[in-house]
A and B are shown apart, each in its own frame.
Chain A
Amino acid sequence: MNDLRDLYQEIILDHGKSPRNFGKPESFTADANGYNPLCGDKVHVYVTLKDGRVEDVHFEGRGCAISMASASLMTEVLVGKTEAEARALFDKFHELVTTEHELVGDDDIDRLVVLGGVRQYPSRVKCATLAWHTFNNAITGAGEPAKTE
């Protein structure tokens, strides 16, 4: 049970249960679908870019606590980022959930560290990265839905 607490930290349970920025916004400038064929989970990410910066991110979807919490936290940390900064943060996040690397803390990665527990559960890493892949597809304008496979 203790190991499980590393995975299901309070913040994750909270964001999983009451995701922030959930729902389709009135307006947005880019969006994309994401799909995890392994479990059938789906997300839709809506992005508003203004002057090269992320002004707003919303999402809809259904999924496990990890995928919902990860999407919810993502919508918060991405606001204000340039596209390049957003991509760099995704790379760092990916490193966080797949490796044991000690990530030198900046505020954004510190907020995401709660998701680091998934690295112990290889089958769950994709739950954590689905929303990020989908965000990436939205801003690069890839017409294909993002897939984790």
Chain B
Amino acid sequence: MVSPVRLQPAPDLFDVARIRADFPILSREVHGKPLVFLDSAASAQKPQVVIDAVRHCYEAEYANIHRGVHYLSETATHNYEATREKVRAFINARETKEIIFVRGATEAINLVAASWGGANLKPGDEILITALEHHSNIVPWQMIAEKTGALVRAVPTDETGDFLFERFEDMLTPRTKIVAITHASNAIGTVVPIKDVVATAHARGIPVLIDGCQGIVHRGVDVQDVDCDFYVFSAHKLYGPSGIGVLYGKADLLEAMPPYQGGGDMIETVSIARSTYAALPHKFEAGTPNIAGTVGFGAAIDYVAAIGHDAILAHEDDILGYALERLRGLNDIQLVGTAPERASIISFLIDGVHPHDSGTILDQAGIAVRVGHHCAQPLMDHFDIAGTVRASFAVYNTRADVDALIDGLQDVRKVFA
């Protein structure tokens, strides 16, 4: 929670200079200026330990997994499966077989929509999402709704971009078959009280999928405590490689779901007439996966776990509070999304300047921000804007990065004066 803005020096929970030294890319320049990277919500930079783990996999321990009796295949399989156990511990899942490796959150949601949705949705059934969702937690549901005759409904938000709990409760009907909701908005930072959401849905017998892309980074999760049925996220936002992500699902739900893709590794026996499927988690992991990426992902989890979410949260809250304080002091800046409980993501507009122009000008000062709709067009429509400028803060960001952003805004004003 950020509300009381602290302007005294950052709490000394960890040494941000040391953290920054772990990320080689942060020492480069862009357009002749030191890089100020404020786009981690799109994808985070990688610490050396992750880069080294991927490299070591290819240099010393690479072969295909689950298929060989030779040393390298066994080693690669062991390393790949070791990440599964790290993920289990990281989110406190009951069993490793509840951890399915996928390409990313997008694939995880498509998997659940197609497999669970395909088996369970009937004409007239409702899928309840919110106006805060990323396109990847909207479109897969629309696709399965089209196929099954189900309907996608979205809980609206208010002028602050907050999650409206009462509206959510009102929109749960006897036809609601699944709730799919973000843990935290990638566009404006709003954090959703997922534990209460799950309890409310479960009281009516409705399962809940949580899009944890931002939540896992800025808050962490204990899936047994939250009691969600599915939790999905991508490694690349959590300082790991791209092309690898997680679908967590409760074992009984996953057991009952049909496979998503067919192929090697997901079968038990195959004949031309029919095949039987492998047990969890392999039933959902057809084909050769992102082996080195998964190994790198394991290193990323170790890295984040060693810092700890409490320290990460305290640090990010400090930067967030400082950034909000400085931006609120500027009368030509309009914050978009001002929910009280939020992750370290800020969306804003500069009066009279389109976000794309701001983004280009800031880039010339070495400052990387994201501009546009952030794959959340329904949310932009709600605010009646085409897009925003978004600054997101990660473990390696500092108050000096915020100062650079504020200075950069002066360049924007100069061009448009």
Contacts and interface: CB of A to CB of B under 8 A. Distances in A.
Interface of A: 1, 3-5, 7-8, 13, 17, 38-42, 62-66, 121, 123-124, 127
Contact of A1 (B357, B386, B411): B411
Contact of A39 (B353, B364, B386): B386
Contacts of A63: 354, 356, 386
Report, as a range, how many residues of chain B touch the other chain. Answer: 20 to 34
B372 A40 contact: yes
A41 B386 contact: yes
B414 A38 contact: no
Interface string B332-357: 00000000000000000000111111
B371 interface: yes
B407 to A, nearest CB: 12
B387 interface: yes
A127 B387 CA distance: 14
B203 interface: no
B364 A65 contact: no
A62 B385 CA distance: 10
Contacts of B416: 8, 13, 65
B161 to A, nearest CB: 17
What 7 pairs between A and B have smallest CB-CB spacing?
A64-B354, A64-B356, A40-B386, A40-B373, A39-B372, A64-B357, A8-B415
18 contacts: A1-B364, A1-B411, A5-B415, A7-B360, A8-B357, A8-B361, A39-B373, A40-B372, A41-B356, A62-B386, A63-B356, A64-B354, A65-B353, A65-B354, A66-B357, A121-B360, A124-B356, A124-B360
Nearest to A65: B357
Interface of B: 352-357, 360-361, 364, 371-373, 377, 380, 386-387, 411, 414-416
B415 A39 contact: no
A13 B417 CA distance: 9
Contact of B380 (A4, A40, A42): A40
A33 to B, nearest CB: 14
The secondary structure that dominates the B interface is helix
Nearest to A124: B360
A127 B356 contact: yes
A13 B357 CA distance: 11
A17 B415 CA distance: 12
B374 to A, nearest CB: 10
Interface centre among A4, A17, A42, A124 (most CB of B within 10 A): A4
Nearest to A42: B386
A1 B365 CA distance: 8
Nearest to B416: A13
B373 A4 contact: no
Given A8-B357, A40-B387, A64-B356, 20 more contacts: A1-B364, A1-B411, A4-B364, A4-B411, A5-B415, A7-B360, A8-B361, A17-B352, A38-B372, A39-B356, A39-B373, A39-B386, A39-B387, A40-B373, A40-B386, A41-B386, A62-B386, A63-B386, A64-B354, A64-B357
Contacts of B380: 40
A38 B386 CA distance: 10
Contacts of A41: 356, 386
A1 B373 contact: no
A39 B371 contact: yes
Contacts of A3: 364
Nearest to A1: B411
Contacts of B360: 4, 7, 121, 123-124
A4 B356 contact: no
A65 B364 CA distance: 17
A124 B360 CA distance: 9
B30 to A, nearest CB: 13
Nearest to A118: B360
A98 B366 CA distance: 24
Nearest to B412: A4
Nearest to A68: B354
A66 B373 CA distance: 18
A13 to B, nearest CB: 7
Contacts of B356: 39, 41, 63-64, 66, 124, 127
A124 B354 CA distance: 13
